[in-house]
Chain A
Amino acid sequence: MTKRIPSKISRGSAELAILSLLADQPFYGFEIAKQIGERTGGALQFTLASLYPLLYEMEKRGWVEGRWQANHAGRDRRYYRLTPSGRKQLAPLRKEWRSFFQALDALAGVSHA
């Protein structure tokens, strides 16, 4: 999953990261990994091995939907977009993680900001 954050936390955070990213616009796999890596300063890094099983799992749950489209270079890529069901998942997930960080902050003085 990620290399800089221990696995159990990152496992849960990965879904949130992907859903949040796709809420703005569709991306294909390589772009998803690249965008998340860049936007988190490298704290969250997806490899091919960690990304695709998760994407397929999320697709199976109906949270995201993949469609083949040509990218700007004219190459066919599978773009993932958020489904209405995925969008519904996003708000409670965000709330859960906010609560988690608040609890951690209260306990250990760790701020998520």
Chain B
Amino acid sequence: MPDWRKIVLQRLGESYGSCRQDIVEELAAHLEEIYEAGRERGFDEAEALRRTLQEAGDWRVLAAEIARAKPEEDSMNQQRTRKLWLPALASITFTAVLLVIFDKMHASPLTVGLGHLAMMLQLAWFAAMPLLGQTQPEEARMNQRTRTIWLPGFVTLTAASLFLFAEEFVLTRDPSSYMTDLSLRPQHVVSGLPLWLYGAWLLAQVPCGAVGAFLSRRGGGSIVARIVAGAFPALMMLLLFVVVIPISVVVERNAYVLSHPSVVVLAILIWAGGPGVALLIGAAPFLKESTPQPA
């Protein structure tokens, strides 16, 4: 079977791959079905391929016509990257560095706790940016990805985070401890939270995953979109541990973690792996096929 995505990319121009991925995917899917129909009609591979490629005619003309018919998407994506994604990444990195500085200065637990809370809020904001970015009338309609991944994922993340904050508050009555147990101090990785609290939090992830997958399915999300929406908090945790925390570890020259990298793996298992499984258990009933209408 030819790689239709690659064929479309080669013929439309590589620039399509980065900013018009949905168009490439759609055209590739169309060609794939024409090719399969040709094969079913008895054409050999070469003939089926030739007939399939004829469908597009002159690819340069097609690219120009698509650009004329759908010109705004490029600039929308570029604008979103320039105005939202890059500043958000810079902001999160800044907060991470600030946390390291707090730590170096032996700031009060309250300051460090608020710093961690700020980090979580920024990650949540990062996740919600596709919504925030749609401020122009032309962009006001939520696109498919927003409806099926970002919005359900944001809801799931918020619910999962609130459970943790609420549990910690009930347990400690001390806001300064919020999320501090995420830090890679060895004693926190395993025993930062009492086991019963961790277990209760894991159980709470099940309905959170269900809500994410349900909202995604309601928005017409594919199976993959539903999985991503359902497991969103775990994915965000994974992002935190794979991107943000390693930066902190290197910057603050955390000797223990640098000499015991397995601590990071353990932390990922506890904070992303376990919740991920619980979230997916909740999402599972909503992963069955539901909506589409075949011709």
Contacts and interface: CB of A to CB of B under 8 A. Distances in A.
A29 B30 contact: yes
A27 interface: yes
A30 B294 CA distance: 11
Contacts of B294: 71-72
Contacts of A47: 54-57
A69 interface: yes
B31 A48 contact: yes
Interface stretch (B62-70, B111-119, B243-251, B263-271): B62-70
A78 B33 CA distance: 13
A78 B26 contact: yes
A44 to B, nearest CB: 15
Interface residues of B, number: 37
A106 to B, nearest CB: 36
Given A52-B27, A56-B66, A59-B70, A31 B295 contact: yes
B220 A53 contact: no
B223 A74 contact: yes
A75 B22 CA distance: 14
With a 10 A CB-CB cut-off, give which of B72, B223, B289, B293 has the most chain A CB atoms. B293
A67 B70 contact: no
B289 A67 contact: no
A75 B220 CA distance: 13
A68 B31 contact: no
Nearest to B70: A56
Nearest to B65: A53
A60 to B, nearest CB: 6
B222 A49 contact: no
A57 B65 CA distance: 9
Contact of B223 (A27, A53, A60, A70): A70
B34 interface: yes
A79 B144 CA distance: 11
Contacts of A65: 141
Given A29-B29, A48-B30, 15 more contacts: A28-B29, A34-B295, A48-B27, A48-B31, A49-B65, A51-B30, A53-B66, A53-B68, A60-B69, A68-B144, A70-B223, A71-B294, A76-B29, A76-B224, A79-B292
Nearest to B223: A70
B62 A49 contact: yes
B291 A69 contact: yes
A30 to B, nearest CB: 4
Given A27-B295, A70-B292, A76 B222 contact: yes
Interface string B31-64: 1011000000000000000000011111001100
A35 interface: yes
Interface string B207-221: 000000000000010
Contacts of B292: 69-72, 77, 79
A25 interface: yes
Given A27-B295, A49-B56, A67 B220 contact: yes
A35 B295 CA distance: 8
Contact of A25 (B68, B224, B293): B293
A67 B62 contact: no
Contacts of A35: 295
B34 A68 contact: no
Interface in B57-100: 57-58, 61-62, 65-66, 68-70, 72
A69 B69 CA distance: 22
B29 A30 contact: yes
